[in-house]
Structure 1
Amino acid sequence: MSLHTNPNDPVSPSNSAVLKDRPATKQRRAEKPASEGPKVIDGRPPANSPETWKLGLDWPVVVWIGVVHLFAIAAPFFFTWQALATCVVLILATGSLGVCMGYHRLLTHGSFKTYKPIRWLLALLGGLSGEGSAIMWVSNHRKHHKYSDHDGDPHSPRDGAWWSHMLWFMPNWGQKISDDIAKRYAGDLLKDPMMRFLHKMFLPSHFILGVGLFLMGYFGAFGLTGGWWDGMSMLLWGTGVRMVYVMHVTWFVNSVTHMWGYRNYDTTDDSTNLWWVGLLAFGEGWHNNHHAYQRVASQGHKWWEIDVTYWVIWMMEKTGLAWDVIRLKDVKHTKPA
């Protein structure tokens, strides 16, 4: 059963409008009886099942994640303050602006509108997070909202904590299934030639950035002395450490904010608000608020639920770079408990 059944929902094959806002008032799903087997949804075998793992691993993805983590492990041996500062700047650019504001609130849910060049820039920054192209990220996230903590959810902790955190994207689903999911859940993005171009440029863009960072260090940018050691410092901190941080705080939203925390709203899934994920993930950790009102730009619904990504949207609105920002007052809602 989907969380929303509105025919204008983006998860409908015939429409790519944004998700409808409506707090679900039904109780969360009870544990499935052992006699009731999980279902095949969108051509994918049941999550984290023997049938899934019989498909084998998606080795390009596994190698990609492995290399990124090896870079992060090696980075402390090539420490410079300039590389650390570069890492922090790129974390904010690719994590908060790219993933949280661009991929999530703008492209998936339509929480605000902006100019096409800014939309494309945010999609590019989101791709540099290392979490896949906008087309793939948005299609999986919209599917998550349709089936949240039910059969069909790509990454529910009910199928295993580690599955929801980082194993769910490692099976080899096959190109046809991936393409079909993209067409069904992200048809609006597929119509945009620039989004298709950024999809094709996902890996090349990382190589371009990596080479650029290495050359900045090698030729002594930002006061570095130059040489291969400084080049490796910029490369390892600007790619490995930065991507590992952004990846895992994003994955925490998929895993722990469906396991631990408190709830302001009674939704049909297990979503929760978890303060430390809220802080580490640029405001994304107030996940129960988000599942109750998916289009609302601000995910912090109480005064102390800090949402730095929304602050940037607010500043963009004040400077004319964003408009039609969706707020709680714009939708019918119940007051947080």
Structure 2
Amino acid sequence: MAVALSFFIGHWYLSLFSQTFFLHRYSAHKMFHMSKFWEKFFHLFTYITQGSSYLTPRAYAILHRMHHAYSDTEKDPHSPHHTKNIFTMMWKTKEIYNGLLSYKFKIEKRFEKDLPEWLSLDRIGESWVSRVLWGLAYVLFYVIGYLYFDVHWGFFFLLPIHFLMGPIHGAIVNWSGHKYGYQNFDNKDESKNSLLFDFLMMGELFQNNHHKHPMSINFAKRWFEIDPTFPMIKLLTWLRIIKPKAKSLE
């Protein structure tokens, strides 16, 4: 039981760290510098931790830059205020994402600047072979646990979350972060801070703060707010793995 729960929680937070640290704060916003070696390391780390739901950094970054530029307007690729429900929002995002992967979706040049790319890895990560093999690995883990380690059959219901981990994280942030919570700043959009202690999404649900200060590494802005990713970034800075840009520390 404990092993299965640890596996799910580990997958949730490792995948989420890849999304908030590498895809969001680095790929989309370039809040800090890192060497090409570490860029490749975290690119690969993102593929491994997201597995079957791998999101290509280039496409993710462009989507997110569009989201900031068009926040909560009809041109926003994932605003909950221009779709009927969370599923239609996710589908709209998926269609634009696929268009970016195929280079068929027309975008403004400003969204394409300085994007991390690893074409061979991205082709593997986006292939159905890779997605199916990762999915089978998750299934096999629970099957072995059920047969030999007394893992309850109920854990099999977690498999759809494993399969779609990356998009699920994105859906929670984009839906909740623009519908529910409080606002510290008037950003002329519907961005909200959904949680006071955002351990569930590692700081990503401080959307109102983030839209006000899009280059700030620390998404928490008031004394009672905690961004769990920020101390991890400070550690990586201390280890000289990354170097924050001056304006990201404001």
Query: Which sits farther off after the overlay, 120-129 or 266-275?
Result: 120-129
State the number of aligned residues: 241
Please tell me whether the aligned partners of residues 126 and 133 of structure 1 are also in contact (alpha carbons under 8 angstroms).
Answer: no
Q: Does 2:64 match 1:141?
A: yes
1:92 is aligned, of 13, 18, 25, to: 13
Distance 1:182 1:134 in 2: 16
AA of the residue aligned to 2:243: W
Change (3 A) 1:329 1:122: closer
User: What CA deviation, in whole Å up to 9, does each residue of 1:103-140 have, x standing for no partner?
Assistant: 00011001112232332333344442616311221111
Is structure 2 residue 179 aligned with structure 1 residue 255? no
Percent identity over the alignment is 22
Q: Which structure has more helix as a fraction of its residues?
A: 2
1:311-330 equivalence runs, <5 A: 311-326=231-246, 330=250
Shift of 1:212: 4.7
Cross-structure match for 1:288? 208
1:209 paired to 2:129: no
Q: Which letter maps to 1:308? A: P
Alignment pair present for 1:167 and 2:91: yes
When residues 233 and 135 of structure 1 are mapped into structure 2, their CA distance, relative to the original with a 3 A threshold, is farther
- What is the CA–CA distance in structure 2 between the aligned matches of 1:94 and 1:83, rounded to whole Å? 16
Give the corresponding residue for 2:112. 186
- The one-letter code sitting in structure 1 at the alignment partner of 2:81 is R
Match runs of 1:226-265 below 5 Å: 240-244=160-164, 247-265=167-185
TM-score by length of 2: 0.78
Tell me if the contact between 1:274 and 1:285 (Cα under 8 Å) persists in the aligned partners.
yes
Higher alpha-carbon deviation: 160-169 or 266-275: 160-169
Question: Which residue type is aligned with residue 303 of structure 1?
Answer: W
- 1:141-160 CA distances to partner (integer Å, 9 max, x unpaired)? 11111111123111122213
Gap runs ≥5 in structure 2:
none
The one-character-per-residue Cα deviations of 1:247-267 (angstroms, maximum 9, x if unpaired) are 334212212221222211221
1:235 Cα offset (Å): 8.6
Q: Tell me, what secondary structure is at the counterpart of 2:69? A: helix
Q: What TM-score results when the alignment is normalised by the length of structure 1?
A: 0.60
Query: 1:49-95: CA deviations, max 9, x gaps?
Result: xxxxxxxxxxxxxxxxxxxxxxxxxxxxxxx4323212211211111
Closer/same/farther in 2, CA of residues 213 and 279 from structure 1, 3 Å limit: closer
CA contact (8 A) 2:185 2:209 kept: yes
Measured in 2, the distance between the counterparts of 1:177 and 1:213 equals 26
Q: CA separation of 1:174/1:81 partners in 2, compared to 1, >3 Å: closer, same or farther?
A: closer
1:104 matches 2:28: no
Partner Cα separation in structure 2 for residue 109 and residue 188 of structure 1:
10
In the alignment, structure 1 residue 302 sits paired with structure 2 residue 222: yes
In the alignment, is the contact (CA less than 8 A) between 2:196 and 2:226 conserved in 1? Answer: no
Query: What is the rounded CA distance, in whole Å, between the counterparts of 2:101 and 2:39 in structure 1?
Result: 27
Aligned-CA RMSD value: 3.6
